[in-house]
Amino acid sequence: MTQQSYPATRLRRTRVSAWSRALHRETVLTPADLIWPLFVCDGEGEQPVASLPGVSRWGVAQIVERAREARDLGIPCVALFPNTPPDRRSAHGEEAANRDNLMCRAIRAIKDALGDEIGVLTDVALDPYTDHGQDGLLDDHGYVANDATVDALVAQALNQADAGADIVAPSDMMDGRIGAIRAGLEGAGHHNVQIMSYAAKYASAFYGPFRDAVGSSGLLKGDKKSYQMDPANGSEALREVAIDIAEGADSVMVKPGLAYLDIVARVGEAFDVPVFAYSVSGEYAMIEAAAAAGAGNRDALVLETLMAFKRAGCSGVLTYHAAHAARLLHG
């Protein structure tokens, strides 16, 4: 009789018990990995966003409460996006440079209440302020003019920095805007204001609910394919990231997130810079729809998705599930 042969290595050994799984876990997710996007509206109170169940627009006073909630949950930063009233929108988006616009009022209110207890990240793009829904200024042919838009973006970023923003995050995808904004910030004495560049932002079908939330979906004519990236391209993202780092970005972002984890991984492997991903509105809405239909457990879907971002190499994730995920992580 010969002795039966058994595998020398049994990978299941380390999976038997919860304590062992925790001990051997390669990736750890904590509330400190999360950034919570918040929508600011005029007036007071709460305005639910129909296409984003569980997400609302908030008046400035209520935004402060959400920021306080984030701090208490261990979320280190909130990201602000304004729902600019229609009468404050224009072809050239001048409201973006108004020192008393919604964004600036919300920044000041959070900083007055919480100071450095939480970070404030602000969106730098003109689509919440234009009456045509594009991220930049249009020329006579309806094309988004790059250099004129960059000038407007610098003014917008300086306005937000003056109000107290800790991180300005250009999401417009204009060429050269990171260098121009960095020069503007340095020239104005904002040496410690960070730039998180939306370096690889794709022309995606996953943005619809976000545009509802900021009030631009009904305004947009055409698409944004002349400046946002082609979803078919991967290597181009590395060129975009390299340029933005050279121009002074402190961190970079890939957007959307879940459908572009390969891009997150490639950027992380190619560059020694913090990489973030935006788990966008369409991704959030799909998880919520799946949970509502009984197709999956909401809590498990949320945490597994966020873990995927961290496993791919993200330093952090912008997610509308941030507060919910933080509560789950606290147990």
Domain ranges (residues) in the chain = 29-330
* Residue positions forming the annotated binding site: 240
Mean pLDDT value across the chain: 95
> Which pLDDT value is given to residue 3?
62
Least confident of 94-98, 216-220, 235-239, 255-259: 216-220
Quote the pTM value. 0.95
C-alpha distances (whole Å) from 27 to each of 23, 121, 306 are 11, 25, 11
Tell me the two tokens of residue 318: 């912008």
- DSSP letter at 50? T
Going by the annotation, the residues of the binding site for Mg(2+) are 240
DSSP type of residue 96: G
Beta bridge partners of 41: 83
Query: What pLDDT is recorded for position 103?
Result: 97
Which whole number is the average pLDDT over 90-114?
A: 97
For 29-330, CATH number out of 3.20.20.70, 1.10.10.10, 3.10.129.10, 3.40.50.2300 equals 3.20.20.70
Contact 254, 260 (CB under 8 A): yes
Tens-place pLDDT, residues 155-195: 999 999 999 999 999 999 999 999 999 999 999 999 999 99
Segment (H or E) for 290: helix 281-292
Question: Residue 218 — pLDDT band, cuts 50, 70, 90?
Answer: confident
Active-site residues: which are they?
201, 255
> In Å, how far are 80, 124, 306, 325 from 167, measured between CA atoms?
11, 10, 22, 23
Determine the average pLDDT of the residues in 300-318: 97
